[in-house]
Amino acid sequence: MTAAVALGAPGRAVSFAVPTGNFGNVYAAHVARRMGLPIGELVIGTNRNDILARYFNHGEMTLGPVEPSLSPSMDIQVSSNFERLYFELAGREGDAVASAFRQFRATGSLPAQPALWREARTLFTAHRVGDEETSATIAATWGSTGELLDPHSAVAVAAGRAARRHPETPMIALACAHPAKFPEAVERAVGFRPAPPPRLAAALTRPERIHVLPNELAAVERFVRDRARVKQEAN
């Protein structure tokens, strides 16, 4: 919302490119659009685990193996928040949605619903971004702007550039993590490891405190309650 207003909303439409595995953030943008935020396009960026891109581009949601990638937070095959959108598309018929997703879990394929898919394609665009394109986007963005992206943010940038339908509308690519969280992937792209933020760097040098508790709910509850009481008294 803040980014949209900064670019002129609600007086002008804006678009978003969102890196996603579990469909949560991009579905939240869809809800914001339903509430009145003038969003021109919602572009879904996936990595090689591209079940969402395959669905929106071809109408088939079929499970495959989870493959490790440079953007591990998106290494997902079952996008649980997609069921929320499907509920809308299916006319909020809970029994029909439950039946479809039972079949999905049992067979690995969501029943084909061409009418629902065609409506979904009016709401979202999707693009698959592989590891090579992710690295190239990190390198190109660094070289042209001096902005250092983490792999997930790079997926959003690449997807937004590749899949946007209306270039006259500003496209906001969601940045989801600090590049220092993925130093190996960033180094692979630009040749150096990003420095962590000062607070994170300080945390990495502080002593660790470990408490071993018995595998008992009461013990865990007691531990949390005692520590919470100590914190309250200190304040």
What is the rounded CA–CA span in Å between residue 174 and residue 32?
15
Confidence (pLDDT) at 231: 61
Give 53-61 contacts, CB < 8 A, sequence gap 24+.
Answer: 53/126, 53/127, 53/128, 54/128, 55/82, 55/110, 55/117, 55/120, 55/126, 56/120, 56/121, 56/124, 56/125, 56/126, 57/126, 59/112, 59/114, 59/117, 60/109, 60/110, 60/112, 61/104, 61/109, 61/110
Tell me the pLDDT tens digit for each residue of 21-37: 999 999 999 999 999 99
- Note the CATH architecture for domain 2-190: 3-Layer(aba) Sandwich (3.40)
**Whether 76 contacts 22, CB under 8 Å:** yes
What is the rounded CA–CA span in Å between residue 4 and residue 8?
6
What is the rounded CA–CA span in Å between residue 170 and residue 12?
9
User: Could you give the 3-state DSSP secondary structure of residue 43?
Assistant: strand
Report residues of the chain scoring pLDDT below 50.
none
What is the rounded CA–CA span in Å between residue 24 and residue 51?
15
Q: Where exactly are the structural domains of the chain? A: 2-190, 198-234
Supply 227's token pair: 């520590």
Confidence (pLDDT) at 211: 93
Strands ordered across the beta sheet of 14-19: 125-128, 39-46, 14-19, 171-173
**Whether 194 contacts 57, CB under 8 Å:** no
Residue type at 168 in one-letter notation: E
Residues in the chain, total: 235
Read off the pTM.
0.85
